[in-house]
């Protein structure tokens, strides 16, 4: 798969490690994050990763900042993005199986490198379950398009 990775200054070291790990799993990596530890603005990278995924330039995205939260919020502002923050492997699997998350976010100040790698591998290997979950994904689209749902 082609995976776009974005990060801010809080996550530069972990991003480097995760990039190498993702490549070792046989994936192609597009690095659009900062390679510096100079302070920068995480919403920009969240937006760029979201756009790369929605445009089809990448199959999915990985975002790493201090907590993962700010970047996930930014990415979710891009129509079509389903970004989730994750600190454990069960959530990493379920966010793909149930939510078909197309962007995985986590925090370099929250998870250590080994857990981060397990989270990434679990997320990349998991598959969307479809079925009733697809109906709920369609409801995300309805929200984005301002359509009234059943509820």
For residue 110, state whether it binds ligand RB5 (rule: CB under 6 A): no
Cβ closest to ligand RB5, residue 84 vs residue 126: 84
4, 8, 49, 51: residue in contact with ligand RB5 (rule CB under 6 A): 8
DSSP per-residue codes, 5-31: EEE-GGGHHHHHHHHHHHHHTT-EEEE
Q: Select which of 9, 27, 40, 98 is catalytic.
A: 98
Residue of 73, 131, 147 whose CA lies nearest to 103: 73
Number of residues that bind ligand RB5 (CB under 6 A): 8
Active site residue 65: yes
Q: To the nearest whole angstrom, how small is the minimum distance from the Cβ of residue 118 to ligand RB5?
A: 21
- Stretch of 12-20, 61-69, 75-83, 96-104 lying at the interface with ligand RB5 (CB under 6 A): 61-69
Q: Characterize 87-119 residue by residue with b for buried, 16 or more Cβ atoms within 10 angstroms of its Cβ, and e for exposed.
A: eebebbbbbbeebbbbbbbbbbebbeeeebbeb
The pairing of strands 83-85 and 28-31 is unpaired
Q: To the nearest whole angstrom, how small is the minimum distance from the Cβ of residue 64 to ligand RB5?
A: 9
- Count of positions (residues) in the chain: 151
For residue 42, state whether it binds ligand RB5 (rule: CB under 6 A): yes
DSSP class of residue 131 equals T
- Stretch of 28-36, 64-72, 116-124, 131-139 lying at the interface with ligand RB5 (CB under 6 A): 64-72
Residues noted as catalytic: 65, 98
């Amino acid at each position: 798969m082609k995976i776009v990775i974005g990060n801010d200054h809080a996550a530069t070291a972990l991003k480097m490690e995760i990039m190498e790990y993702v490549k070792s799993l046989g994936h192609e990596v597009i690095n659009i994050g900062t390679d510096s530890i100079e302070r920068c603005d995480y919403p920009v990278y969240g937006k760029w990763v979201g756009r790369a995924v929605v445009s089809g330039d990448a199959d999915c995205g990985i975002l790493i900042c201090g907590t993962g939260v700010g970047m996930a919020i930014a990415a979710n502002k891009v129509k079509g993005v389903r970004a989730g923050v994750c600190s454990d492997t069960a959530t990493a699997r379920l966010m793909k199986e149930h939510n078909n998350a197309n962007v995985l976010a986590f925090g370099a100040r929250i998870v250590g490198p080994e857990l981060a790698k397990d989270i990434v591998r679990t997320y990349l290997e998991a598959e969307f379950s479809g079925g009733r979950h697809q109906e709920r994904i369609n409801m995300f689209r309805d929200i984005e398009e301002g359509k009234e749902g059943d509820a």
